[in-house]
């Protein structure tokens, strides 16, 4: 049995222990200690990283009430060792986990929605709820969660017997028939959990809900807490500073500056559309409808390619092939009125390292010399016509 020091003090960064067992396990050694501050993971919270006498602990495995520490080299039975926890990682995960508890408790208390999913990794934290939340409700939840932090509500972790649980109100996805560890955070939350948490809510620092999306009939919230939230704020502030510099507007006006840029872009797109339409209509008048059409057009967008092809279909029943030069090759559109040219598209792709496809109009890219591509297109067309 391994004494779990992380439950006694979640802020314990290092500890001493005695080696009880040391066994070869594949390419590593499984070390069993009389006590350990290494949290093996649980409650949705990842395991700790760290070292024992300088050796990296690659994995933590629970065998009943005993914890195995997987290291590269063996230790002597009875040897005294020192374990060191990667505390920045531990604290980060505790901040995220405790922050999620506060949010979940507030949501259940105010709106009756249960937390039905929780994911915590080094990059993201998501919490799923079985009801829909409005934008105003989400803002209120975040406000109350950060009030709990400012109040520095106490975090109390305690094990209760089945009989004691009958008088407790707490969140849980399960019905328990044994002793249960409850984590209480002031009046904000009480939840069955085997994870490690901060000692007081103030140690979370900050809770920020980054996004809220409808998910399986409920809501999925993405959040960041503590240092992650601060770093996210700093990153977004730097982005706004750069946008402010590029648009030559005060940072407080970047939204209106970007909106103006977007409106200008929409206006230019409409003008370009009109210019392209005039060009396409003039071009159609000059193209012969007798035989396959193969043209090179500069600077057309994928949408422009499709619109030109649609106009060509009204002009001729022959296959139409438009190439647009780009770095390293050509974008293309290929089609024929009332027919699919997918076999021809595949043949060109195979011949010129191409990618793409489609049904009525095939679009993609090709690599090769223009003259070779044009010649191969004509060969394939006339071969399909039996000429």
115: domain CATH number is: 3.30.980.10
> Would you state the pLDDT for residue 264?
96
- What percent of the chain is modeled with pLDDT above 70? 99
Over residues 103-147, the pLDDT tens digits come to 999 999 999 999 999 999 999 999 999 999 999 999 999 999 999
In this prediction, residue 65 carries a pLDDT of 94
For 316-365, how does the pLDDT look when each residue is reduced to its tens digit (9 = 90+)? 999 999 999 999 999 999 999 988 899 999 999 999 999 999 888 999 99
Q: Mean pLDDT for the chain?
A: 95
- Looking at the structure, do residues 226 and 178 belong to the same domain, yes or no? yes
143 domain residue, yes or no: yes
Same-domain status, 258 and 355: no
Taking residues 142-171, what's their average pLDDT? 95
Q: Decide which of 191, 206, 234 is a domain's last residue.
A: 234
- Note whether 229 and 318 are same-domain residues: no
Q: What angle do CA 82, 85, 87 make, to 5 degrees?
A: 145
Mean pLDDT of 211-220: 97
Residue 62, CA distances (Å) to 65, 70, 158, 249 in order: 7, 11, 21, 57
Q: Give the mean model confidence (pLDDT) for residues 215-233.
A: 97
Residues 153 and 194 both lie in one domain: yes
Start-end of H helices in the chain:
5-8, 87-111, 135-150, 162-165, 226-247, 254-286, 302-315, 342-351, 370-384
Together in a domain, 119 and 225 = yes
Strand order from edge to edge, sheet including 80-85: 55-56, 50-52, 80-85, 14-25, 28-33, 66-71, 59-63
pLDDT digits (tens, 9 = 90+) for 38-68: 999 999 999 999 999 999 999 999 999 999 9
Say what the pTM is: 0.81
Please check whether residue 202 is in contact with residue 94, taking contact to mean a CB–CB distance below 8 angstroms: no
Residues 122 and 226 placed together within one structural domain of the fold = yes
Q: Which CATH number covers residue 38?
A: 2.40.30.130
Query: Both 75 and 157 in a single domain?
Result: no
Arithmetic mean of pLDDT, 249-269: 96
Do both 166 and 62 map to the same domain? no
Instruction: Write down the pLDDT at residue 387.
Output: 54
**170 and 156 within one domain:** yes
Domains: count for the chain: 4
Determine the structural domain holding residue 312 and report its residue range. Answer: 287-384
Would you state the pLDDT for residue 386? 61
Q: Are residues 155 and 228 in the same domain?
A: yes
Query: Do 359 and 331 sit in the same domain of this protein?
Result: yes
Q: Tell whether 104 and 214 lie within a shared domain.
A: yes
């Amino acid at each position: 049995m391994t004494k779990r020091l992380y439950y006694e003090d979640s802020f314990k960064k290092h500890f001493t222990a005695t080696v009880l067992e040391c066994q070869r396990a594949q390419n590593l050694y499984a070390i069993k200690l009389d006590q350990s501050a290494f949290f093996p993971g649980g409650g949705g919270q990842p395991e700790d990283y760290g070292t024992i006498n300088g050796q990296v602990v690659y994995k933590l495995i629970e065998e009943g009430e005993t914890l195995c520490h997987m290291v590269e080299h063996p230790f002597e039975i009875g040897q005294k060792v020192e374990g060191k926890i990667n505390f920045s990682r531990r604290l980060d995960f505790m901040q995220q986990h405790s922050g999620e508890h506060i949010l979940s408790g507030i949501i259940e208390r105010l709106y009756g929605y249960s937390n039905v999913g929780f994911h915590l990794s080094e990059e993201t934290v998501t919490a799923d709820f079985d009801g829909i939340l409005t934008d105003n409700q989400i803002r209120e939840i975040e406000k109350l969660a950060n009030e709990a932090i400012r109040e520095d509500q106490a975090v109390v972790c305690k094990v209760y017997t089945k009989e004691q649980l009958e008088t407790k109100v707490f969140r849980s996805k399960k019905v328990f028939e044994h002793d249960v560890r409850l984590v209480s955070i002031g009046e904000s939350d009480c939840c069955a959990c085997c994870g490690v948490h901060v000692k007081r809510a103030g140690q979370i620092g900050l809770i920020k809900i980054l996004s809220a999306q409808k998910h399986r009939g409920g809501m999925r919230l993405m959040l960041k807490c503590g240092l992650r939230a601060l770093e996210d704020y700093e990153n977004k502030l730097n982005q706004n500073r750069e946008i402010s510099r590029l648009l030559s507007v005060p940072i407080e006006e970047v939204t209106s500056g970007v909106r103006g840029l977007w409106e200008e872009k929409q206006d230019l797109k409409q003008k370009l559309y009109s210019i392209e339409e005039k060009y396409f209509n003039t071009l159609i008048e000059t193209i012969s409808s007798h035989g396959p059409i193969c043209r090179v057009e500069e600077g057309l967008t994928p949408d422009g390619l499709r619109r030109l092809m649609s106009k060509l279909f009204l002009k001729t029943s022959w296959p139409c092939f438009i190439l647009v030069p780009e770095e390293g090759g050509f974008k293309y559109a290929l089609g024929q009125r009332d027919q699919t040219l997918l076999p021809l598209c595949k043949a060109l792709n195979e011949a010129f390292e191409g990618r793409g496809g489609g049904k009525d109009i095939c679009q993609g890219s090709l690599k090769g010399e223009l003259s070779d591509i044009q010649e191969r297109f004509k060969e394939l067309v006339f071969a399909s016509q039996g000429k």
